[in-house]
């Protein structure tokens, strides 16, 4: 199954690469989706990631879900309407929507957390609450198709849970 992993400059290295490799290991086909196909985006620590697909060309029916890594990238991602629309459409289709750390900013911008349980990095708790979420401080929170975690330390639980949602 194809699963989008969103990418933009200043992403958190571990929060992109660990889910990507876990998805591959489980037999899925992760696809890096950025504002522009073929463009290389740089992590907070300078590690490059090349987008396979532009968000405007990504089709929700072709994907099993989306993973949104943190870092400061989500603040940049939500400036691109096609990236926000992709998250919103996947959520509307009941597919996996997974965000870690500051990835919750995209969830707020896509308006997919209203009335839902979620977590994220502590500094965006107010943003998530103001978007209508019921914020919980836990390593992973699953509310149906929505999976959220706080920090790289939560990656084992985050990856385990997103694979459960995908049925892996």
Give catalytic residues, as residue numbers. Answer: 102
Q: Among candidates 51, 66, 69, which has minimal Cα distance to 14?
A: 69
Structure tokens at 107: 């969830």
Q: Among candidates 105, 43, 39, which has minimal Cα distance to 78?
A: 105
Which residue pairs from 26-29 have beta carbons closer than 8 angstroms and sit at least 24 positions apart in sequence? 26/163, 26/166, 26/168, 27/168, 28/1, 28/2, 28/3, 28/64, 28/166, 28/168, 29/1, 29/2, 29/3
Round to the nearest angstrom and report the end-to-end CA distance of the chain. Answer: 10
């Amino acid at each position: 199954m194809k699963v989008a992993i969103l990418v933009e400059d200043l992403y958190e290295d571990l929060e992109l690469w660990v889910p990507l490799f876990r998805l591959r290991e489980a037999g899925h086909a992760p696809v890096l989706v950025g504002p522009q196909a073929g463009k290389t985006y740089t992590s907070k620590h300078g590690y490059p990631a090349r987008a396979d697909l532009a968000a405007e060309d990504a089709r929700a029916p072709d994907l099993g879900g989306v993973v949104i890594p943190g870092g400061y990238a989500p603040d940049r991602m939500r400036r691109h309407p096609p990236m926000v629309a992709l998250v919103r459409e996947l959520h509307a289709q009941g597919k996996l929507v997974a965000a870690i750390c500051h990835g919750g900013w995209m969830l707020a911008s896509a308006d997919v957390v209203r009335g839902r349980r979620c977590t994220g990095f502590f500094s965006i708790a107010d943003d998530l609450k103001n978007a209508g979420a019921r914020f919980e401080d836990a390593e992973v929170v699953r509310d149906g198709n929505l999976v959220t975690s706080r920090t790289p330390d939560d990656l084992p639980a985050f990856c385990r849970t997103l694979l459960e949602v995908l049925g892996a």
